[in-house]
Amino acid sequence: GFADIMRKVSQIDVLVNNAGIGGNGVTEECTPAQYHESFNVNVVGAIRCTQQVLPGMRARKTGAIINITSIVGRIAALAQSPYVASKWAFEGVSEGLAQEVAPFGIRVAIIEPGVTRSSIFSKNIEAPNSTGAYDTHYRRMFQFYAAGIANATPAEEVGALILHAITTDTPQLRYPCSWGGQQIVDGRATMTDTEWVELGAVQEDSAYFQAFKATFGVDISNS
């Protein structure tokens, strides 16, 4: 734990909260345990680490905390309710933290990857689908990631962005990145909430994929 780390190093200047797990499923079909697991790793674990480093950073009036969230912390992805909920929560914690520690010279940056080459996908290939009522949503969710994995951004590029967020003289709070990241943020900003909701009601896959590409500039079709 942190006690072991602190015995080996004199201080921690930079914390990168990168641990995370996925969580597939629509709200109706997910168990409370799935939400607990996602929140414990993706939110509470990061908070625990942050609490350990803040006293030293605050005393030195310097430091950087880099929180790896996800593009789904900005836009609710289909059929990933536990994961989406945890990443939205982590975004809120991070945004609040940035203001809390600003008087102490501590930098907070939120890295928001789209699809990045990572082992998380091989560990996140199942979905409850217990009712059969949400087949369309699951199919489209898996199709999105199939397209994303085929074009996934190398993890090294995200690593370079993290280094930039730590060292730049012109820091920003949020850094959308990786395949689909910035495009989806920009596309969602052009939609009303009503238009966003109505996208989920599109019946035909071909029409959905066409609308998705037109709005977000990302092709998730099989073609």
Could you give the residue numbers annotated as active site? 83
Residue of 131, 113, 132 whose CA lies nearest to 180: 113
Can you give the C-alpha Rg of the chain in angstroms? 19
Angle at the Cα of 110 (from 105 to 112), degrees rounded to 5? 165
Give 120's contacts (C-beta < 8 A, 6+ positions apart): 20, 21, 22
- 3-state class (DSSP) for residue 176: strand
Q: Centre a 10 Å sphere on the Cβ of residue 97 and count the other Cβ atoms it contains.
A: 19
Contact 15, 108 (CB under 8 A): no
Give 216's contacts (C-beta < 8 A, 6+ positions apart): 180, 183, 184, 186, 187, 188
| Amino acid at the residue 170 | T
Taking phi over 0 as left and psi of -120 to 50 as alpha, with beta for the rest, 160 belongs to alpha
